[in-house]
Amino acid sequence: MVFLTAILILFSIFAVVKIYLKLTTGRCRSHTCLVGKTAIITGSNTGIGYETALDFAKRGARVILACRNKSKAEEARSKIISETGNDNIVVKIVDLASFDSVRAFAKEINETENRLDILVNNAGVIGIGDDTSRDGLSLVIQINHFSGFLLTNLLVNLLKKSAPSRVINVSSLAAEGAKNLDLDQIAKHTSVMTDYYNSKLCNILFTQELAKKLEGSGVTAYSLHPGVVKTEIVNNTSGLLKIGFSFLMKFFSKTVEEGAQTTIHCSVAKGIEECNGEHFSDCKRVKAYKTARNPGLAKKLWEKSEQIVHLQPNETQL
Ligand SMILES: NC(=O)c1ccc[n+]([C@@H]2O[C@H](COP(=O)([O-])OP(=O)(O)OC[C@H]3O[C@@H](n4cnc5c(N)ncnc54)[C@H](OP(=O)(O)O)[C@@H]3O)[C@@H](O)[C@H]2O)c1
């Protein structure tokens, strides 16, 4: 009897949380048409990035799938074309674990594209441990922050020429966990979760500083938390972490279609320009997390990031 009651209570808690999540999931209500517009989405062969690309394709955009794996990206491209009938979907290869690859990708875009209306820095990883990139950095921080920073700088001229245009940085509530961001140690592996927390806080701080630098240019920037979303992101984790994440994703997650809504909202919703540099969740502007309300930290991160990616004066207009 006690066992049955416990099961019933647990089941009720699950049901209430599930219903709460469904009711509070934000949806992008904008009907903005993207015909004649070009969007780049990193990591768009799967997960939130794929759903974002699918939505932009439905709106008529030219969509550039910026992915590291050609066959996965081509598969995604075929699916998007067959589902939307929009064949203006292009695959371009970029490995965010390499600054050379980011520079080569940006060079090609700058040489071949006339415009860039939306840049979504979406690609992200968690749990690839203490692997170091060929640039000598912790892979997680390089993929999740430094490469997006570099890519945005390299493409900002094209974004400015296409204004009004937008930069969207997909962050996470996990940024709240980055209690002691140490910029001197930022490039080094600490622990699986700390690397991820730090990288997601960097996404928000980068957005804040970028927005300041872009003021008056017609280009605006937003960061966001997509929610807990059932994707492949936990595939690289192991042990208890994997069990915990898998549990969360099985019972308390959004679908990928729901998880892409805030990215889509920040990319296409009209009238959010006044929120330049702000953070969004469930398609609403939210107060920056405590860790992201640190005067001066965003500027310091920007300067550190310039050093780490070896940004040259002729590479950016920021
Ligand atoms: N899912 C969640 O609950 C959640 C919650 C908060 C925030 N987020 C954020 O949402 C974003 C998207 O994540 P997701 O959940 O959609 O994960 P996902 O399904 O694992 O997708 C991640 C994408 O990033 C790509 N990627 C990884 N490393 C790359 C590299 N070196 N170069 C280029 N692309 C690379 C992956 O490519 P491959 O397929 O080739 O690996 C994949 O396309 C991430 O920034 C994540 O931090 C997710």
Considering the domain boundaries, does residue 151 fall inside one?
Answer: yes
**85 φ, ψ (degrees, to nearest 5):** 80, 0
Where are any strands of DSSP class E within 18-164?
Answer: 38-42, 62-67, 89-93, 118-121
Report the amino acid identity of residue 287.
Answer: K
Neighbours of 317 (CB within 10 A): 14
Tokens of 127: 């749990």
CA-nearest residue, atom 19 of ligand 1: 47
Residue 38 has a pLDDT of 98
User: What CA–CA distance (Å, rounded) separates 239 from 312?
Assistant: 42
Residue 19 has a pLDDT of 84
Q: How far is the CA of 193 from the centre of ligand 1 (A)?
A: 15
Please identify, by atom number, the ligand 1 atom nearest to the C-alpha of residue 49: 16
**226 φ, ψ (degrees, to nearest 5):** -80, -10
Q: What is the edge-to-edge ordering of all strands in the sheet holding 279-281?
A: 89-93, 62-67, 38-42, 118-121, 165-170, 219-225, 279-281, 284-286
Residue 181 has a pLDDT of 94
* Domain CATH for 108: 3.40.50.720
Residue 291 has a pLDDT of 97
Considering the domain boundaries, does residue 5 fall inside one?
Answer: no
Considering the domain boundaries, does residue 12 fall inside one?
Answer: no
Considering the domain boundaries, does residue 9 fall inside one?
Answer: no
Residue 63 has a pLDDT of 99
Question: Structural domain tally of the chain?
Answer: 1
Q: What residues are annotated to the active site?
A: 196
Enclosing H/E stretch for 167: strand 165-170
Considering the domain boundaries, does residue 290 fall inside one?
Answer: yes
Q: Give ligand 1 pocket residues (Cβ under 6 A).
A: 42-43, 45-49, 67-69, 72, 94-97, 122-125, 143, 170, 172, 225-226, 228-229, 231-233
Substitution site in 231, 245, 261, 263 for ligand 1 pocket (most atoms within 8 Å of beta carbon): 231
Considering the domain boundaries, does residue 17 fall inside one?
Answer: no
Residue 267 has a pLDDT of 98
Q: What are the residue ranges in the chain where pLDDT is below 70? A: none
User: What CA–CA distance (Å, rounded) separates 161 from 62?
Assistant: 17
Residue 17 has a pLDDT of 77
CA-nearest residue, atom 20 of ligand 1: 233
Residue 69 has a pLDDT of 98
Substitution site in 48, 147, 237 for ligand 1 pocket (most atoms within 8 Å of beta carbon): 48
Measuring CA to CA, how many Å separate 105 from each of 110, 111, 116?
Answer: 9, 10, 14
Considering the domain boundaries, does residue 13 fall inside one?
Answer: no
Q: How far is the CA of 134 from the centre of ligand 1 (A)?
A: 20
The half-sphere exposure of 290 on its side-chain side, counting CA atoms within 13 A, is 5
Considering the domain boundaries, does residue 19 fall inside one?
Answer: no
Where in the sequence is the domain holding 56, given as residue range(s)? 32-310
